[in-house]
Amino acid sequence: MRNVARKDTAPELAVRRSLHKLGMRYFVHRRPLPGLRRQADVVFPKAKVAVFVDGCFWHGCPEHAGKLEKTNGWYWPAKIQANRDRDADTNFRLDESGWVAVRIWEHESPDEAALRVAELVRVRRLTT
């Protein structure tokens, strides 16, 4: 159960390292919104960008979670669905508050993901 909120996972650290290499400065494990009891893995407060590095299994990656679901019976799909609903709700609430949520799958290339984040932060710093 705790897997959902696990911190400093390998994929998360890899993304942070890639962001760091790009010269990005950020906060880790922060609540983007004070009223929202959810932390983002990486937060850029000025640009209002919140980054979540999502585990393929727990968050229902279309490429990787499906295979695992079949071997785990009924329980896991329900749990994954609950996580997906929660993720969607988090995205919605951030969006409502002028933030943007970036979701990175653990299977993605950390360097490519970091470039995507860096570009978004750069653009939003110019426009917000």
Q: 112 CB contacts (<8 Å, ≥6 apart)?
A: none
Does 61 contact Zn ion by CB under 5 A?
Answer: yes
Task: Confirm if 68 and 15 have CB atoms less than 8 A apart.
Answer: no
Residue 63-102 contact track with Zn ion, rule CB under 5 A, x = bound: xx--------------------------------------
Q: 109 CB contacts (<8 Å, ≥6 apart)?
A: none
CB of 80: closest distance to Zn ion in angstroms? 12
Report in angstroms the alpha-carbon separations of 38 from 16, 32, 79, 93.
19, 8, 17, 11
CB of 63: closest distance to Zn ion in angstroms? 5
Tell me how many residues contact Zn ion (CB under 5 A): 6
CB of 12: closest distance to Zn ion in angstroms? 14
Does 113 contact Zn ion by CB under 5 A?
Answer: no
Closer residue to Zn ion (CB): 40 or 104: 104
How many CB atoms within 10 Å of residue 42?
A: 24
Task: Confirm if 48 and 123 have CB atoms less than 8 A apart.
Answer: no
Closer residue to Zn ion (CB): 63 or 96: 63
CB of 20: closest distance to Zn ion in angstroms? 23
Residues that bind Zn ion (CB under 5 A): 56, 61, 63-64, 105, 107
